[in-house]
Amino acid sequence: MSETRPAGAGAGERRAWVTVAFATMCSAFPAFVTGALGVQLRDEVGLSATQIGVAMAVSFAVAAALSAPMGRLAERLGPQWAFRSGLATSAIAMVLLAAVAREFWQFCGFLAIAGAANALSQPSANLMLATHVPAERMGFALAAKQSGMPAAALLGGGAVPAIALTVGWQWAYALGAVLALAAFTLLPRDPHDPNRPARRGSALAMVAGSRSAKPDLGTGLLVLYAVVGFLGASNAGAMVGFITIGAEESGLGPGAAGLVLSLGSFVGIVSRIFQGVQVDRRGVLPIQRLVWLFALGGLGVLGLAIDVPASYLVATVPAFAFGWAWPGLFNLSVVRNNPSAPGAATGISQVGIFAGAAAGPAIGGLIVDNGSYRMLWMAGAGILFLGATVAVYLRTRIRAARSVEPARP
């Protein structure tokens, strides 16, 4: 594939990917900050590691259950109003977490509301980028958007020493609510009728005429995408949910343990942007690079299994740089293969990511409470190695299905 040399982005395009990345961070913040606040929720509220994992899992499980219908809803409402609805609901959930949540069931209930909001926000974000960004820069745009997820974890980790250890853990949720409302006001308008391609040269303009809500790929292939997303997100959910507590248990102080998550999240952001730029400039197949990221990330997570303070300071870098840098490439592959309905298609593939993000903390909490952090990280590494294998099989299936016209996975 020849190298792509896109022209510079315009002001409207830059505003789209900047605000979408910020809004995505706000949508993901409730669950991720809950993991970062694990020590405080354990000591001040009395939640066990299993309960914290289950509360996070409830949020992502609700998102998984609603992802496909929310993707279709985003196609009908248009990205701006769908995204605004999700952000407003996220803000309400975080206000309730700050003001009301003091029992395990309350954390589960309010995080479930946040999960429903996230289920609408994620496909809305993908659709918004597809209507504002030219196809040759979608790799970077989706990478920037997906950087909102580790940015939420970074902010959550930083909130531990800056907020939770000073004024109280409740104010971390309150900060998230304020940020979500700010994102609500910044989202760009939909440029055209959401049932038509946005403009010439955009990702959606690859298909002439009106868009249907039906993805281009068959359901079986989208399910395989969801399986890959499930495996990658299972490891990511466990890392985000337990790396702070694991680092403290290994001997690091609470503030330093919170900053371990911030370090990993920052590395993940840089890596996601780098991967997106490489795909745009060099014509790298996103799913091929995803395979390598899963494999290298598995090696990094194995480093965490040494389970000493130094391992959390060193192995966190490759674990996040590779093991949590794949979502932008994942969504780019889905969008490229489903130009007629990217919102509906990513709504289906996102089911796996949400389900994995739910399973990772829930199962991870059980492993920690009944085993050790070493066992948790070894399991995470194995999951990433399996995900790399399934991604290779998915690439083969897409090429077989597109035997007449070469696939763009």
Chain segment 148-160, per-residue pLDDT in tens? 777 877 777 777 7
In a domain, 1, yes or no: no
Residue 238 neighbours by CB under 8 Å, 6+ apart: 360, 361, 363, 364, 376, 379, 380
4 in any annotated domain: no
Q: Which domain range does residue 50 map to?
A: 11-183+214-401
Provide the CATH number for the domain around residue 265. Answer: 1.20.1250.20
Q: Evaluate whether residue 208 is within a structural domain.
A: no
**Contact call for residues 333 and 286 (beta carbons, < 8 A):** yes
Which two three-digit tokens encode residue 214?
């039906």
Instruction: Tell me how far apart the alpha carbons of residues 327 and 240 are, in angstroms, rounded to a whole number.
Output: 15
Tokens 């809803």 correspond to 73
Highest mean pLDDT among 276-280, 360-364, 389-393: 389-393
Q: What is the pLDDT of residue 203?
A: 44
Percent pLDDT > 70 in the chain is 89
Among 57-66, 197-206, 227-236, 363-372, which is the least confidently predicted range?
A: 197-206
**Domain assignment of residue 143, yes or no:** yes
* Residue 202 confidence (pLDDT): 43
Give the containing element (helix H, strand E) for 165: none
Task: Give dist(CA 173, CA 187) in Å, integer.
Answer: 22
Predicted pLDDT of residue 3: 33
- Residue 156 in tokens: 């959550």
Whether residue 197 is contained in a domain is answered as no
**Range with the poorest average pLDDT among 66-80, 333-347, 357-371:** 333-347
More confident call, 283 vs 381: 381
Domain count, the chain: 1
* pLDDT at 191 (0 to 100): 62
Is the model's pLDDT at 192 over the cut of 70? Answer: no
**Cα–Cα distance measured from residue 57 to residue 358, given in angstroms and rounded to the nearest whole number:** 4
Q: Which amino acid is at 250?
A: S
Q: Is residue 23 part of a domain?
A: yes
204 assigned to some structural domain: no
Average pLDDT, the chain: 83
The answer to whether residue 205 is domain-embedded is: no
Return d(Cα 197, Cα 203) in angstroms, integer: 8
